[in-house]
Structure 1
């Protein structure tokens, strides 16, 4: 291998190692996300972790006297939602630090990357004008595009 190519490979490997460490750092930061929300009267505190999962719920000794059971349940649900929204915002800020300008951190966290909503729809729900193949009508000519390697190319029967 020539010296120029060797240097390029070394730089690529070094870049890969730096990127991998940055990714590991982001994953460690995301794993530590914790956000809490407390009721106005201080009787209830909900804490969520990564992904908005409830990890702690604190009820004061008099929470049951301050709130009727149904109201207390609604309060807990509301506080969990508030804490989850704060945790999601924090996770988005963490991911945004390593994304290129214009990238959507919420989409990355959702696992959809830069795919548009129409690209995520199941094919059978896609609009007919999407350019995807449609099911053939009985009157249609055979379409060689739809053949697989399992079909015999001479008579259309499966192999």
Structure 2
């Protein structure tokens, strides 16, 4: 069992040694342009391009709530695009975050991290534009990642 480590900093510049996997939440509409994805796109073009292609070709792949796409952006650095929100706006059907989808995606991220021997680095996923509550997301991270021995760092961005 690993602990979840909380630090101030930028999740797109993960700290520590070894292979790192940056995990974040995407919507199920193919939209990319607000929130943490903007920071990702400032550093690398590949995650956005791969996500948009994944969505565009969704009839022939696994794109949907709970799915994860892995994009290698450096020798020892990967980005996990996790589909964990339905739509993009809070409305009559509540907030966009889907905790069960995030939980399913985190289970897959744990498997990939174990395969790569990677630590996982995340912002407070699902709690920005997706409208989620950290009190609901943190136990998913603890149960799916930290409980399986995966080192997890949560980044609180200054700014």
Q: Which has the higher contact order (CA 8 A, sep 6+)?
A: 2
The answer to which structure has the higher helix fraction is 1
* Fold match (TM-score > 0.5): no
Q: Determine which structure has more spread, i.e. the larger CA radius of gyration.
A: 1
User: Shorter-chain TM-score category?
Assistant: under 0.3
What TM-score, normalized to structure 2? 0.24
The answer to which structure has the higher strand fraction is 2
